[in-house]
Structure 1
Amino acid sequence: MTRERSLLDKFFLFLKGLSMGAANKVPGVSGGTVSFVLGFYEEMIYSFRKINYKALLLLINGRFKGFYNYTNTTFLILVFGGSMFSYFTVSLALDYLLEVYELYVWSAFFGMILGSIFYISKDFNDWNTKNIVVMIIGVLLGIAISFMSPAKENDNLWFVFVCGIIGVSGMTLPGLSGSFILILMGNYVLLLVDSVAVLFKTLTEVFTGDFSFMDSEERIRYLKIIATFTGGSAFGLIVTSHILGYVLKRWHQIVTAIIIGFIAGSLGIVWPWKKEVYKIENGVNLLDAKGNKVIENFERYFPDFYNNETWIAIFFIVVGAVIILLIDKYGAERKEYIDE
């Protein structure tokens, strides 16, 4: 079932997709949390559930309008169009801000996640023993993931495909950062930095009529990697959405409780006061394709309250939380998408 949307609704939906895409690229921030707070999480899950055997039959039989309406394609195009667009726009700005104002950006994210926990939990009134237990499990899982040590980079295409399946989970599971999972799997730089940079460069050259990339084995390698990763992500989105759609429909309260716990547990990932621990091999810092040091993990510490930067960071935490509360106040209420 599709929903009629005005032009303004479509524009805001595109912006929501933009926000989700930007969040997905930042390690520690969950695009799923963004979609949950901005009110399109369940519609996204149920829309992906519509990519099934019936949709395939509609497509094969040439019933394109029926396929378009059945799969809620307008919604998917707007959300994921915005998400993809963000990788070459908002994400680049975020990369710059993280480099120049790292503490303050992480503080804002930390505040937004705090606000998200309040936003999601304020309407949850089913705090029975079972839901409290699953919430605690969610907290423990979030904490455990935040302290895991990353693996080494692996460009085997089967592993890259699996990275796509698991990495996209940040879009479908609020509280889980797909980018951070890719760091743990050792392939964040390979997939979301180096390969994306090569793809962008290649597309730029193709638009100018330059196809010299076809003679470069290294470029072809990166393009194979990004294509495989994209395929894994698409497969993962469809499969996890079917699973989550089933689970949400039958155990909605339990799922919400574990999401609240998982988001709370993931706060350790976006803790603002941390130092990068870089990968070292044979006593030398490993570098990515752009010559930047490869981050292995983070060393967290408590802030110095005698430092002015600390209070500025706390201000940004408050700002981040207030942004979410304003979204709540001015109408971005969660809307359940009914699968009929």
Structure 2
Amino acid sequence: MPRNLKDYLLISLKGMGMGAADVVPGVSGGTIAFITGIYEELINSIKSINGSAIKLILQLKIKDFWKAINGNFLSALTFGIFVSFLSLAKLIKYFLAEQPILIWSFFFGLIVASAIVIAKKITEWKLRTIIALFLGIAIAYFVTVVTPAETPSSYWFLFLSGALAICAMILPGISGAFILLLLGKYEFILNAISSFKLDVIAIVGAGAVIGLLSFSNLLSWLLKKYHNMTIALLAGFMIGSLNKVWPWKETVSTFIDRHGIEKPLLQANILPNTFEQILGQDSELIFAIVLAIAGFLLIWIMEKFSPESKSN
């Protein structure tokens, strides 16, 4: 059925939701696409940007090319994503600096709810599915423990970071921002976006485009051939990643970055009361619990009223 302007505005709003999800290291844009009923169309549209589509451009058949790649859908969605990126980057940067406990608590709730939403998509629990779940948990936990805080800022690494982050963005379960966090490039790229550093944005963007085009076919194949195992692995990855976003941490060691600023190198998760005893700061436990519940309910409500849930 042909879409009208209202339909494309709604797609842009869903894109804004995806962008908002991937700005924060909490829930993935792929999860938002999944629970708002556009995931399959998104993957198929990205897959359609292939050799045949490029051939249409070379033949100057622009209208046919646009139709082949579902251009109206992709452009409306992309617009919404970039609006979120540009508008939320400074806001998230502010909260990470000024209210880290509260915002990490909100992210914690987002991830817990997202893991549950993703796990509900598993249609049959077999031994291999359970193994995939625990493998995902183990891999994610291990990565959060061993990832260094400082990584190169050269163009090749920024290109790689963009490619890996965008792949995570279309996965229903892994946050692109969380991948950047693990790679030590989350704040760096967030600062680049908020200050419009065009060279960094261009390199990361180029990596994102290449990664997106090359990964969409693999993802589609995995979900078709090994759907339950793939979903279980992604759910496990999210559960294991909770170690990274636990709000209360004790800094074990620090390092001086290239700008001469002292930053945490190794941090250990601690309980709220231990946080107050060691650091002499308010753990903000009540507000943290409220925000964690709010994050959980946000995903639960979105899933509850998604087109897929209504159809079921």
Give TM-score, length-normalised by structure 1. 0.78
* SS of the residue 2:162 aligns to: helix
Instruction: Tell me what 1:302 maps to.
Output: 271
- Alpha-carbon spacing, 1:113–1:5, altered in 2? closer, same or farther (3 Å): farther
Deviation at 1:19, TM superposition (A): 2.3
1:247 matches 2:222:
yes
Partner Cα separation in structure 2 for residue 274 and residue 9 of structure 1? 44
Letter aligned with residue 248 of structure 2: W
Deviation at 1:75, TM superposition (A): 1.9
What are the within-5 Å matches in structure 2 for residues 11-90 of structure 1?
11-90=9-88
Instruction: Tell me what 1:196 maps to.
Output: 193
Instruction: Tell me what 2:148 maps to.
Output: 150
Deviation at 1:96, TM superposition (A): 2.7
Deviation at 1:55, TM superposition (A): 0.5
**Structure 1 unpaired stretches of 5+:** 200-221
Letter aligned with residue 304 of structure 1: N
Partner Cα separation in structure 2 for residue 224 and residue 171 of structure 1? 22
Q: Are the equivalent residues in 2 in contact too, given 1:37–1:116 (CA < 8 A)?
A: no
- Alpha-carbon spacing, 1:198–1:279, altered in 2? closer, same or farther (3 Å): farther
Deviation at 1:277, TM superposition (A): 7.2
Identity %: 33
C-alpha RMSD of the superposition: 2.9
Instruction: Tell me what 1:268 maps to.
Output: 243
Q: Runs (4+) of structure 1 moved beyond 6 Å?
A: 305-308
Deviation at 1:129, TM superposition (A): 1.0
Q: Are the equivalent residues in 2 in contact too, given 1:183–1:296 (CA < 8 A)?
A: no
User: Among residues 9, 16, 35, which one is paired with 2:7 in the alignment?
Assistant: 9
Deviation at 1:295, TM superposition (A): 5.4
- Alpha-carbon spacing, 1:299–1:73, altered in 2? closer, same or farther (3 Å): farther
* SS of the residue 2:245 aligns to: coil
User: Among residues 321, 325, 331, which one is paired with 2:296 in the alignment?
Assistant: 321
Partner Cα separation in structure 2 for residue 150 and residue 159 of structure 1? 14
The 10-residue stretch of structure 1 (325-334 or 226-235) with the greater mean CA deviation from structure 2: 325-334
Instruction: Tell me what 1:174 maps to.
Output: 172
Q: Are the equivalent residues in 2 in contact too, given 1:175–1:266 (CA < 8 A)?
A: no
Q: Are the equivalent residues in 1 in contact too, given 2:108–2:245 (CA < 8 A)?
A: yes
Letter aligned with residue 299 of structure 1: A
The 10-residue stretch of structure 1 (253-262 or 293-302) with the greater mean CA deviation from structure 2: 293-302
Residues 286-309 of structure 1: CA distance to partner in whole angstroms, max 9, x if unpaired?
A: 548xxx765546432122399782
Letter aligned with residue 159 of structure 2: F
- Alpha-carbon spacing, 1:254–1:310, altered in 2? closer, same or farther (3 Å): same
Deviation at 1:334, TM superposition (A): 6.9
Q: Are the equivalent residues in 2 in contact too, given 1:155–1:225 (CA < 8 A)?
A: no
- Alpha-carbon spacing, 1:66–1:296, altered in 2? closer, same or farther (3 Å): farther
Letter aligned with residue 273 of structure 1: W
Instruction: Tell me what 1:140 maps to.
Output: 138
Letter aligned with residue 209 of structure 2: A
- Alpha-carbon spacing, 1:4–1:99, altered in 2? closer, same or farther (3 Å): farther
1:257 matches 2:232:
yes
* SS of the residue 1:299 aligns to: strand
Instruction: Tell me what 1:211 maps to.
Output: none
Letter aligned with residue 17 of structure 1: G
* SS of the residue 2:109 aligns to: helix
Letter aligned with residue 54 of structure 1: S
The 10-residue stretch of structure 1 (131-140 or 246-255) with the greater mean CA deviation from structure 2: 246-255
Partner Cα separation in structure 2 for residue 108 and residue 184 of structure 1? 19
Partner Cα separation in structure 2 for residue 334 and residue 61 of structure 1? 43
* SS of the residue 2:201 aligns to: helix
Partner Cα separation in structure 2 for residue 186 and residue 101 of structure 1? 20
Letter aligned with residue 31 of structure 2: T
Residues 66-123 of structure 1: CA distance to partner in whole angstroms, max 9, x if unpaired?
A: 2112111122212221111112212322333333333222222211222222222234
**Structure 2 unpaired stretches of 5+:** 277-281
Q: Are the equivalent residues in 2 in contact too, given 1:47–1:71 (CA < 8 A)?
A: yes
Residues 32-85 of structure 1: CA distance to partner in whole angstroms, max 9, x if unpaired?
A: 333333333332222111110111111112222221121111222122211111
Q: Are the equivalent residues in 2 in contact too, given 1:32–1:172 (CA < 8 A)?
A: yes
Q: Which has the higher helix share?
A: 2
Letter aligned with residue 61 of structure 2: R
Q: Are the equivalent residues in 1 in contact too, given 2:252–2:267 (CA < 8 A)?
A: yes
Aligned length: 305
What are the within-5 Å matches in structure 2 for residues 153-164 of structure 1?
153-164=151-162
* SS of the residue 1:88 aligns to: helix
- Alpha-carbon spacing, 1:37–1:271, altered in 2? closer, same or farther (3 Å): farther
User: Among residues 184, 199, 206, which one is paired with 1:224 in the alignment?
Assistant: 199
Q: Are the equivalent residues in 1 in contact too, given 2:86–2:193 (CA < 8 A)?
A: no
User: Among residues 233, 239, 249, which one is paired with 2:208 in the alignment?
Assistant: 233
